[in-house]
Amino acid sequence: MSRRAAAGPWLALAAVLLLGGAALYQLTAGLSAWTLDQRRETRIARQTLRLPALDVRNQHGRPLRLFGAGGAAGPGPAVHIVDFIYTRCPTVCRALGAEFAQLSRQVEADGMAGRIGLVSLSFDPRDTVGDLLGYAGTYQARAPGWQVAAAAPDAMADLLHQAEVIAIADGLGGFEHNGGLHVVDAGGRVLSVHPLEDFQQAYAAALAHARGARP
């Protein structure tokens, strides 16, 4: 057997190990995170977690582009507070709606309308414009300050994947999903994520960014 033939299996193994190592490095955010939550936290801390530009329709059926320049929505707010909902949700989404209603009033009281925007994104392909309008009506969500919106299923699935947001059908017509509040700049960069109960911290983070960002 020639030396070249003998070396063949070892070269193939080295290539596999190299590719596997590269994949592991990427999946663990540079070997610094070993769970999905840790990886997501690492990406947020490094400000490498982004929401892609997303074409949606809001509660009035108006087309908008979120998290990207040059969309139908115009320049838009300097920062958004974003949550992920579905209108049939009987638990988490109701709590989020109540919190966003309070935040909406706070944005107005602080004179930050137009600088801080609220976005509730439905990931349920069953949600129609009428469903979005019904959810908006329940919590007095008024556009453009608070957009209740949905995108095409493929586009929403891509955003959930890129943002590492979990929404899993529970087999009973609903979803298991997290209730995090995402503070996102105008370009889609996720600045911070806050648990449901820490919505005031999410607002404080958005307020600090909006006041520091250029108009």
Digit-coded pLDDT (tens) for 70-94: 434 446 899 999 999 999 998 899 9
Q: Kindly tell me the burial class for residue 136, based on how many C-beta atoms sit within 10 Å of its own C-beta (0-12, 13-18, 19 or more).
A: buried
d(CA 32, CA 136): 40
Nearest to 178 by CA among 100, 56, 96: 96
Is residue 149 within 8 Å of residue 66, measured between CB atoms? yes
Q: In what order do the strands lie in the sheet with 181-185?
A: 63-66, 54-57, 146-151, 116-122, 79-85, 181-185, 190-194
150: its two tokens: 């949905």
DSSP state letter for 115? T
CA distance to 27, 32, 42, 73, 164, per residue, from 38 (Å): 11, 8, 6, 34, 11
Strand pairing class (54-57; 146-151): antiparallel
Binding-site annotation, residues: 89, 93
pLDDT for 109 equals 97
Digit-coded pLDDT (tens) for 166-180: 888 888 888 888 778
**0.75 cut: is pTM over it?**
yes
- Residues 135-162 have a mean pLDDT of 96
Is residue 191 within 8 Å of residue 209, measured between CB atoms? yes
Binding-site annotation, residues for Cu cation: 89, 93
Q: Kindly tell me the burial class for residue 129, based on how many C-beta atoms sit within 10 Å of its own C-beta (0-12, 13-18, 19 or more).
A: middle
Most trustworthy range by pLDDT among 2-6, 21-25, 139-143: 139-143
